A and B are shown apart, each in its own frame.
Chain A
Amino acid sequence: MAEDDPMGDEPRDEALARALDVAPLDELTRRRLVGAALAARQETTITPAIDAPPVPRGNRRARILGIAAAAVAFVVLGVAALALPRDDTTQVAGRPTEASGPLAAADASAAPSAPDAGTSSRTAQDGGTAASAAPSGASEQVTAALPDLGRLGDLSAAGSRERVVAAAEPAVEGTTPQRWAFTFQTCPPRTLTVVATGLGSIGGDPVFVTVARRDDGTLRVRAIDGTTCELRPLP
């Protein structure tokens, strides 16, 4: 990177270079970004092999079984914690288990559907909006009226992000962002600030979809991989 090459480049403007300098990323963020890129590459190399006999057949079966097991795990966790909001009323923990039917049938090719899928356990974490809205005498653990986008299907294809945003926009209009503690498959529990959630799959792996609102009002969509627990970008 020559400062003055034979073509007569103007030298680097050191004052501007200092002004434009950007702090290095923290190690965790760097690892996450690199990990997601490597995982994305792995997807592209694995996907064509799925149709090649004989090993990929086993891979596919294992993947389907894995997804089914994941769906069962959702149910167990969901019932253990509590159920999801379906409407604008606050709900009390201990929702019935009928959600297990559709959940067990969930797979990577599920088409976008109406917001009905109560899958992972998503609970109002603290005494914020959700808890304060709890009816008198309700359990301490409550869920609030957070829009559930349901099963969003395969999110691997280009335009998935726009598709989720389009689905979320009418659902979250006027919704206040909420802090949510959630459990998803084997991922460590974490707290998210979101305006809506949903489920989908990327490359056959189940993902938990979060929709957050930026300061400028636009929506940010993220997917958390149920296998690696990493954030996955949507194309």
Chain B
Amino acid sequence: MAEDDALARRAAQGDRRALEELLAEHTDRVHAVCRRVLADPEDALDATQEALIAIARGIGGFDGRARFTTWLYRVATNAALDEARRKQRRPRAVEAIDERATSAFRSSGGAAIDERVSTRLDVDAALGSLPEEFRVAVVLRDLADLDYAEIAEVLDIPAGTVRSRISRGRALLHEALGATHADADDPTRESGNRGETDERRSNDG
């Protein structure tokens, strides 16, 4: 973390290589937050791009008073929420998530496609069932591993509010996952799917 802050200070002073290193190092973190705040993998990539641009453009103002990662997560969260709001203004199709996930997996092959689609849908659907403020709080705590004070800083809300949002968000998420996994043994089996092609994106437009 201290290394990140040192890199960030160098980048703030105009060191392009430091900035590149910093961005490359944190792209996956930014993407993970965007991916879980937004259900659509492509929207998540758009938000990730916006966040990285915002970081690259705003790094000159980084003064080191806050931790770099806190600032990074703030930018990532805002980019994801902006993308979500943009999307809300667009017309939506019914069952869009099912279609997306199905098409993403259709080309990936393998023996357990149905199971993986089901699992991916479970997590996306469960997250999607949460109010945005709960979803973001849970993602920052349990995915990004930020502590309550950092989440309070990222979201600019009191620590007590962070606590209640995480608590309620977790309860709702467990409930939603439990419901969708009523016939499954392990509600957390998605972690076995790392590297699947649904997280990938071709460059074709």
Q: Is A190's CB under 8 angstroms from B203's CB?
A: yes
A142, chain B: closest CB distance, angstroms: 20
A16, chain B: closest CB distance, angstroms: 4
Chain A residues within 8 Å of B145, by CB: 1, 12, 17
- The 8 Å CB contact of B146, one of A1, A191, A193, A218, is A1
Q: Mark B189-205, 1 if CB is under 8 A from A, else 0.
A: 01101111001110111
B107, chain A: closest CB distance, angstroms: 13
B188 interfacial by beta-carbon distance below 8 Å: yes
Give the number of chain B interface residues (Cβ < 8 Å): 68
Once A7-B148, A40-B56 are accepted as A-B contacts, the answer to whether A222 and B187 lie under 8 Å apart by CB is no
Q: Is B123's CB under 8 angstroms from A19's CB?
A: yes
Chain A residues within 8 Å of B91, by CB: 216-218
Assembled-state Cα–Cα distance A100/B139 (Å): 53
B85 interfacial by beta-carbon distance below 8 Å: no
- The 8 Å CB contact of B174, one of A9, A16, A18, A190, is A16
Q: Is A41's CB under 8 angstroms from B19's CB?
A: yes
> From DSSP, what is the main secondary structure of chain A's interface residues?
mixed
Interface centre among A9, A10, A23, A214 (most CB of B within 10 A): A23
Q: Is A194's CB under 8 angstroms from B53's CB?
A: no
Chain A residues within 8 Å of B177, by CB: 19
Assembled-state Cα–Cα distance A18/B57 (Å): 33
Q: Is A231's CB under 8 angstroms from B190's CB?
A: no
Stretch touching chain B among A30-38, A57-65, A71-79, A81-89: A30-38
Listed from nearest, the 3 A-B pairs whose CB atoms lie closest are A37-B52, A41-B56, A216-B96
